[in-house]
Copies of this chain bind each other. A is one copy, B any other.
Amino acid sequence: MGEFELIQRYFAVAPCAQGGDGVVRGIGDDCALLALPPAEQLAVSTDTLVAGVHFPAVCDPFLLGQRALAVSASDLAAMGATPMAFTLALTLDQANAAWLEAFAKGLQQMAAACTLALVGGDTTRGPLSMTLTVFGRVPAGQALTRAGARVGDLLCVGGELGDAAGALPLVLSQRQAVAEIAEPLLARYWSPRPQLALGQALRGLATAALDISDGLLADCGHIAKASGVALQIEAARVPLSAALCALAGHEHALACALSGGDDYRLAFTVPPERLSAVQAQWPEVRMIGQVLAGQGVQLLDAAGLAIEAPRGGYQHF
């Protein structure tokens, strides 16, 4: 099968390639064309997933398609951007029809959930990997960045953390668990739900934001550095799911939440007087700490004593 037929068969005809908000020209020319409403800016993010590094080399292609797009779309959520479109650069060691069909379906389902249109990409032969570039729009000056946290702000997260990291032994079939425990954890690994609506709602409310991909501590470190402040996290306030605690025990569950990564939930800072407005609409949002003068990230135990943080963040090299 030729490269062009391959793309045509599995991707160009997908509903997610039918064009959407702002898509002037999608798949099929040298470039896609996007239009922005007046006074809006384009938000762009690129992420690569490599087989054997970011996902098991042998896995369900439908789930992989979902996960690949969710990981990238989460960056749009972190900027408060309204999703528009994405490109897919897919490198495959072979063109397997059943694999491609399932992968395209998973991608398509996540694209529909995120209202993202597939507008272009590239298909190449090589070791399995994929690079997705996502596009969103945001009113000029209203993007959520990492740089705006102010002393006195509260630090919040968009929900329970650590599930995806805790699920890894299940993903890698190193461990088994009963369905009530395994299913929600595996779903958080394979089908993270980018918090796009929350991100957009936080425009004008949050002072800084990002999505947690490298672990809470490492990512809070990015906010602290970009904003020139210190972040203090109360360990007892970090929300953990019942499934994760049941699988891993409380102590390891907390470690997953602090340093595990792959959460794709938002962390953000917000002035105290705005928290109730956020939580009224987003009850899963939890306050986990506050912004102080200084630098770095400080972790407090239940007694309010500073504890040494586990070394945080996934390091590729």
Contact = CB atoms under 8 A, between A and B. Distances in A.
A31 B78 contact: yes
B50 A126 contact: yes
A144 to B, nearest CB: 8
28 contacts: A1-B317, A2-B315, A3-B315, A24-B41, A29-B146, A29-B226, A31-B43, A31-B44, A31-B78, A31-B81, A33-B41, A33-B42, A33-B79, A34-B42, A35-B41, A35-B42, A38-B38, A44-B135, A45-B120, A46-B120, A46-B122, A47-B122, A50-B127, A52-B126, A53-B124, A123-B317, A125-B316, A127-B127
Interface string A92-135: 10110000000000000000000000011111111101010101
B50 A124 contact: yes
A169 interface: no
Contacts of A123: 316-317
A24 B35 CA distance: 17
Top 10 nearest A-B pairs (CB, nearest first) are: A50-B126, A131-B131, A30-B78, A31-B43, A95-B317, A127-B127, A46-B87, A89-B131, A30-B75, A48-B89
A36 B41 CA distance: 7
B30 A45 contact: yes
A301 B89 CA distance: 39
Contacts of A31: 43-45, 75-76, 78-79, 81, 136, 143
Contacts of A25: 143, 145
A136 B316 CA distance: 31
A211 interface: yes
A6 B315 CA distance: 11
Interface of A: 1-3, 6, 24-25, 28-36, 38, 41-54, 75-76, 78-79, 81, 87-89, 91-92, 94-95, 119-127, 129, 131, 133, 135-136, 138, 140, 143, 145-147, 209-211, 226, 313, 315-317
B133 A3 contact: no
A133 B136 contact: no
A91 B48 contact: yes
Q: Which of A25, A28, A44 neighbours the largest number of chain B CB atoms within 10 Å of its CB? A: A44
Given A33-B138, A76-B31, A91-B50, A122 B131 contact: yes
